[in-house]
Amino acid sequence: MSDVVVRTEGLVKDYGAVRALAGIDLVVERGEVFGFLGPNGAGKSTTIRLLLDLLRPTAGRVEVLGVAPRAGGAALRARLGYLPGELAMAGRQRAGDLLAHLARLRGGAGRERIAPLAARFGLDLERPIGALSKGNKQKVGVVQAFMHEPELLVLDEPSSGLDPLLQRELLDLVAETRQAGATVFMSSHVLSEVEDAADRVAIIRAGELVDVDDIVALRRRAGQRVQVRFAEAVAPEAFAGVTGLAELVVDGAELSCRLHGDPGPLLAALAAQPVSRLVVEDRELEDLFLDHYRLPPTGPQDGDDDR
């Protein structure tokens, strides 16, 4: 059995003259939670739809659980769980009846897990779908995605509409699913939930991957914030050649900067100055994410928020 669950190579998707994806290379390994980060319009949902064969690529290659989505057919889809970013559910059918119908379509798989999952998320199975709030429809989506214990879960903005307690419950369910051996591909623009759940993260920007690494490495790459107060004003030239600094500002008796890598050169420069106060704080994954998005885009942009 291959250790690679999702593989894309040079994946391109055009919508007419708009290039939504510009050559995406991804590898998701068995048993990991893989976070896929980016704002609306970056290309997250387009990537997911290509993985699920809801769209066809303009160029490049996709494999899911060892086969091309187009060739995998119903046998492949039975091994997947999918929670879309936008749930289109309406009508008078009760939530429990809809979930039971989905279980029948899957040959009965997951029927016994409907009730306990619904209870866990506070979903009333007797209520008609059309009468449910956005949050309760999201609960239906969560139950149908997880109930048949798929090998690969593809979650697109999974916490949308859920209150904070249920968002935490969802992350616990993701962790349990991973511990049971499943793989989770989780797309989101909520950095905190991805940081809590994911083993590795990819950041997508204007249809291009700008960073892929594990959480610890990404946090380290985010660097540290440094603020220094001196006993007297210092010359900015004293820090001009120090390596590893970004956004350096020396204003009289105060210095601020972002530090990446070895702190030795900065400490050596500070040792020659009358330091009265030094504050160093780790930056969060959110800071690294924002670093990427503060820069002007280099690639084509996806102009549709749903892509």
- The string of pLDDT tens digits covering residues 155-177 is 998 988 889 999 999 999 999 99
Coil, helix or strand at residue 249 = strand
Question: How does pLDDT run across 277-300, given as a tens digit for each residue?
Answer: 999 987 766 676 677 666 555 544
Residue 23: which of 60, 69, 63, 70 has the closest Cα?
60
CA distances from 111 to 32, 158, 176 (A): 26, 21, 19
Query: What's the alpha-carbon Rg for the chain, to the nearest Å?
Result: 23
Average pLDDT estimate for 129-136: 91
Q: What is the pLDDT of residues 197-230, one digit of tens each?
A: 899 989 888 898 888 888 777 777 778 899 999 9
b/e per residue 143-173 (b: at least 16 CB within 10 A): bbbbbbebbbbbbbbbbbbbeeebbebbbeb
- Average pLDDT for residues 238-253, to the nearest whole number? 92
Query: Is the Cβ–Cβ distance between 70 and 19 less than 8 Å?
Result: no
| Structural domains of the chain in order of their starting residue, each with its CATH number | 4-214 (3.40.50.300), 224-282 (3.30.70.2470)
The mean pLDDT value of the chain amounts to 88
**Residue 30: what pLDDT?**
95
pLDDT of residue 294: 63
pLDDT given at position 284 = 66
pLDDT value at residue 301: 44
